[in-house]
Amino acid sequence: MIDFSNVDLLIVGAGFYGATIAERVANQLQKNVLLIDRRSHIGGNAYSEFDSETGIEVHRYGAHLFHTPNETVWTYLNRFTGFTDYKHRVYSTYRDQVYSMPINLGTISQFFNRRLSPDQARALIADQAAEMAGRNPANLEEKAISLIGRPLYEAFIRGYTAKQWQTDPRDLPEHIITRLPVRYTFDNRYFNDKYEGLPIDGYTAIFERMLKHPKIDIALGVDFFSLKSSLPPDLPVVYTGPIDRYFDYSEGELGWRTIDFEKETLNTGDFQGMAVMNYADETVPYTRILEFRHFNPERSYQNEKTVVVREYSRSAKRADEPYYPIDTRQDKEVFLRYRERAEAETNVHFGGRLGTYRYLDMHQAIGAALKAFESRIVPHFTEGRTVGGEK
């Protein structure tokens, strides 16, 4: 039984959003924080661990690549870790050929089997995208065709997206595809952000340092909903779990995508020569293979074995871990009803990817938490304002 008598703020979820607010409240406001998580570890989906057999750091919930254009977030996180100079690059297999991703001048030249100048490539893609001329894209498929034309879309985007989201691309919002840049140079760096790298000591070490404060208590393996009915009525809560679960699915279930991970240790020093290989063919059941040794080439890992993880994406059921909001038109309607109900919860602040039903990269979750701390949490403790309930 948890004693709430000395708790000033309850935070549900030990990922980046919850950990950032916990760290700020303890260090800046000197208030007592109780951070709970139903999992057995801190770090949320960013949790990493060193494989006992190989010594290789593995991201348990899929590859996490830190990048940000936000200097405030970068400066903040550097209080808890240094970063390597890792620059993320991805390749994709389509019909047994390997292409560089995101789509760039090298990809286009290789796919169409001829050397193209930037102007020639632009003209070719413009011609292939002409079917969307004068039309505003209404879904992911139309947006992709408007950017790269139908041949490249059908090769690299359609099958991969259908597998990744378990949804027809024509039923997905167009904004999803804007996360994948298209370049008319040979630059194959995946992210454009100014700041990029991987934490020198791994992700879990970041959370350990963030949460190492005498005013932060951590309770793991604790389900918030087993405590909800017994919470003191005036205890403010930061909730980062699924918003539909908080309201017991009373307005309907939101669509989430989950991932199944198939981990394998292989008797080779190098399986695929890179950290991430996508598989664009719909006939291949997994979306990509991760080989974790390549995220940290600066480390002196042994060369006898390697760890790979295959990712299988599917729609989530209630018992599954929800990773990404699918965000169809129907989902948007359901979420608006939940948001209206959340605004009536004056003592609860909903945050993070699951609590706001938004796709958030790690740096976005940290940035949002820093803003929420200033706009919601500080005024609560200094002015008596509610932590939630305001638009």
Say whether pLDDT at 333 is over 80: yes
CA distance 159 to 152: 11
Supply the pLDDT for residue 176.
79
Per-residue confidence (pLDDT) for residue 91, from 0 to 100? 97
The residue with greater pLDDT, 321 or 198, is 198
Catalytic residue (choose from 24, 60, 183, 353): 183
Structural domain that includes position 119: 101-176
Q: Is 310 among the catalytic positions?
A: no
311 carries an active-site annotation: yes
Alpha-helix residue ranges (DSSP H) falling in 129-272 = 140-152, 158-165, 203-210, 224-227, 243-246
* Of 115, 143, 176, the domain-final residue: 176
pLDDT of residue 342: 96
Contact 310, 284 (CB under 8 A): no
Round the average pLDDT of the chain to a whole number and report it. 95
Tell me if 342 is assigned to some domain: yes
Active-site residue identified among 24, 158, 288, 293:
288
What is the pLDDT at residue 175? 80
Examine the pLDDT at 340 and tell me if it is beyond 80.
Answer: yes
Look-up: residue for tokens 């939940």?
Answer: 338
Q: Is the pLDDT of residue 180 over 60?
A: no
Q: Which two tokens stand for residue 24?
A: 């700020």
Evaluate whether residue 132 is within a structural domain.
yes
Task: Looking at the structure, tell me whether residues 334 and 248 fall in a common domain.
Answer: yes
User: Which CATH number is 334's domain given?
Assistant: 3.40.50.720
Lowest mean pLDDT among 184-198, 274-288, 314-328: 314-328
Per-residue pLDDT, 382: 97
Indicate if 122 belongs to the active site: no
Q: Is residue 349 located within the same domain as residue 204?
A: yes
209 has catalytic annotation:
no
d(CA 278, CA 113): 21
Q: Collect all residues with Cβ–Cβ distance below 8 Å to 161 and sequence separation of at least 6.
A: 140, 169, 172, 176, 177
**In a shared domain, residues 133 and 171:** yes
The pLDDT score that the predictor gives to residue 391 is: 47
Q: With 60 as the cut, is the pLDDT of residue 123 above it?
A: yes
The model's pTM is 0.93
Q: What is the pLDDT of residues 67-115, one digit of tens each?
A: 999 999 999 999 999 999 999 999 999 999 999 999 999 999 999 999 9
The answer to the question of residue 242 being in a domain is: yes
- Among 37, 196, 311, 331, the one annotated catalytic: 311
349-382 residue pLDDT tens? 999 999 999 989 999 999 999 999 999 999 999 9
Among 179, 234, 248, 383, the active-site one is: 179
359 catalytic residue (yes or no): yes
Catalytic residue among 24, 60, 257, 293: 257
245 part of the active site: no
- 345: in domain: yes
CATH number of the domain to which 131 belongs? 1.10.3110
Look at residue 284 in the predicted model and tell me its pLDDT: 96
Average pLDDT over residues 205-229: 97
Catalytic residue list contains 288? yes
- 249 shares its domain with 329: yes
Domains identified in the chain, total number: 2
